[in-house]
Every structure is written in structure tokens, then in C-alpha cells.
Amino acid sequence: MRNPARFPLKEGLHSRQAHADLPELAIYEREVGREGFFGPASHLHHKHPPTAWVEWEGDLRPRAMDLNQLTPLASARSPFCAPVILHNAHCQYRFWHCDEAMTALVRNADGDDLLFVHKGHGDFFCDYGHFAVTEGDYIVIPRSTMWRLSPRSPMQLLMIEATEDSYQLPEKGMVGQHAVFDPAMLEHPHINETFLAQQDENSWCVDVKRHQRLSRITYPFNPLDAQGWHGDLTVMKINWRDIRPLMSHRYHLPPSAHTTFVARRFVVCTFVPRPIESDPGALKVPFYHSNDDFDEVLFYHAGDFFSRDNIDAGMVTFHPAGFTHGPHPKAFAAGQAHAKTFTDEVAVMLDTRDALHITAAAESVENPQYVYSWRG
């Protein structure tokens, strides 16, 4: 979208620049922006918090789901049996409990998969070989790759499908390709002894998902029987602990600065522990914003989630486009007082350009009072 204004316009009481040195009589800054923090934007200064609503009616609302409360039916040896929490035409968002070794291979012909290991550890086998996976790992699985998971301890995994699409690394611009994480940190599977030892002549099935429907192919041997490979297409993994976030002591960076993977219609970002802005005038918590071109989903993995109250690991918040959202009152007050100097949180954010639909599985573990959690 082209901005018709050729320079920033100004009106009334305002700061000289965004997210810093806010006026004392209007400390509640709200960013109204387009194109996910990359398009035209204005910053409005309010005398009341823009999230201080007292009543809410209708389906459009901020939501919080506790995925820890999903019923045992959510446990399955196949990821395709895991409940879908949110979805649109370009994305499926699942939460999978995998407690036992998969007895069949799977292949997603609908698009790339991104797994995030929330709990547990195990062995991952695929067309390209084997590697061990553990808590905090991202695993990028190219479309139509055959794979299976063999847990060594009960595992919980977030799954994000890029439907009819692929995952890429983000363009890092003037900070260079080695910023956030060096691509050298990406690991690939190996044709190692563990992989060769699992090859056998027993009957194996492959469950293939295409057009969100399953078909089954049976082989009289294990089709993960590669003896070697070469090329530049493979499964990759990286742990959140290998991410070195961009930081600014004088300016609160937008979520887009924490982008880890991109697809054509959505992005995945990772929030990891970092120093909080130290400049006296800099905003020290996420700013209130109306980002009306994207839906925002946050999965809370570990730590103390400094912008949210009563949110624990294993929970998901969903803020669809159409209203302002931002920090809870206690978090905003703590930011004003500079009560903390370091964040202690790990969270996975999904921002989708297309509206997400919530499922019955998600609604079954929703906290209906979350919409009122911004009350002072």
C-alpha cells in the first residue's frame, strides 16, 4: 500500500518519535499500522489505555487457550490425528502429544511442516537420515518428506503447516545474513548407524495427507532405506537457544525483528530472553497496536511472560485483527517503573495475513474471561 502522505504529519500532543519519550499527559501510545509493521503507520497518544474496555460482545475477541487441558484423545501416534487449534487456507496450527513411537511413516503432500518441541526428546527419522531432537528444537520438514518420530520421553509438539507453501529464512536486510542466527547453526539429518539400524524388511505403511485427506501406502520393507544423498533440499533443525535476538537499548523493536521463518502468507517469530531497553525514555514493554492486516497467535513455551498476567507455559493467545491489543496493566506499570532489566520468556508467534478460524478443540480449552484480563 502506498502512503499518500509524503512525510509524517503531526497533530496535538505527541512524542517526537515512536516508542520513546512519551508525553506525560498521554503516555498510552497506540500504533495504527499496515503491512505488519512495514507499511504506513501513525502513533496516537491517549489519556486512557486503549485496552481498558469494560464489556465485550460478539465473536471477535482476544482469546486464550490452555493446551495443557486438551483431553487424552489429543494423544496420537500420527501428527495428522492431532487436533487443529486454528486454521485458514494457508496454514494449519496443531498441538500434538506424541508419547509412543510412531508405527507408520507420514508424508504431508499439502505443504511444509514446522514442528516446535515444547516438551520431551526423541529420535527423528526421515528420507534424509536421523537426528536426535529435544525440547526447544524447531524442525522444518519439506513438503512430501517421509518421516517418523520415536520419543525417548513423552513429547508435546506445536505444528504449523504452510499449506501449499514452503518455509524460508527471512531477509535480514542491513544487519546481514548472520544476524539473529547464523545459517551455519541449522542442522540436517545424517545417514548414521542409528538410521541404518532401523532399516528392515518388515511391512511399513505411509500415511499421506493431500487436500486434508489421508491415503495409505503399504511397502513390504521400510522405505526409509536411503544409503546416502546429496543436494540442497532436506529437513533442518535449530534450537531456540541458538537464536541471538536483535537488541536496541534506546528503541523497542517490533515483533518483526524477531522473525525466524517466513512463508508467503505468514511469519513465525521467536521471543527469547534479552535485555530490556535501558534508555530512560524508551518504551520497555510491547506497544499497544492495531495491526489490522494480520492475526496474531502466541504460544508460550517457557519462562515469565512479562507482558501478560496469568499466562503459563503451554497456553496460546489469539488476537485476531480488528482491535487494539498490548500489555496487561501490571506489565505496563512495571515497564514505566523499569522494574525489570531482562526478559525471561520463550514464545513462538505466528502472524497470518489471512483470518484464522478457531476450532471446537480450541474452544473446549478456552478461558472466556481472558477478554477482561486488561481491566486495571
Q: What CATH number is attached to the domain comprising 215?
A: 2.60.120.10
Q: Say which DSSP state 190 is in.
A: B
Is 230 designated active site? no
Q: Same domain for 208 and 143?
A: yes
Mean pLDDT score of the chain: 90
Q: pLDDT per residue over 10-20, tens digit each?
A: 777 787 777 77
Strand partners, 45: 29
Residues of the domain holding 186: 72-240
27, pLDDT greater than 90: no
Q: Is the pLDDT of residue 154 over 60?
A: yes
pLDDT at 68: 93
In which residue are the cell numbers 501478560 written? 308
Backbone angles phi, psi at 244, to 5 degrees: -115, 100
Confidence bin at 204 (pLDDT 50/70/90): very high
Q: For residue 238, which phi and psi values (nearest 5 degrees)?
A: -155, 145
292 by DSSP, 3-state: which? coil
254 and 201 assigned to the same domain: no
Answer whether 0.95 is exceeded by the pTM: no
325 is in an annotated binding site: yes
Looking only at the bridges linking them, the beta strands covering 288-291 and 357-358 are unpaired
> What's the pLDDT score for residue 89?
97
Catalytic residue among 97, 252, 319, 328: 252
Residue 210 covered by a domain: yes
Residue 327 has pLDDT above 90, yes or no: no
301 is in an annotated binding site: no
Q: Among 240, 273, 308, which residue terminates a domain? A: 240
Instruction: Count how many Cα atoms sit within 13 Å of the Cα of residue 43 in the half-sphere of its side chain.
Output: 19
What is residue 289's predicted lDDT score, i.e. its pLDDT? 83
236-245, 274-283, 349-358 — which is least confidently predicted? 274-283
Number of domains the chain is built from: 2
**Percentage of the chain surpassing pLDDT 90?**
64
190 annotated as ligand-binding: no
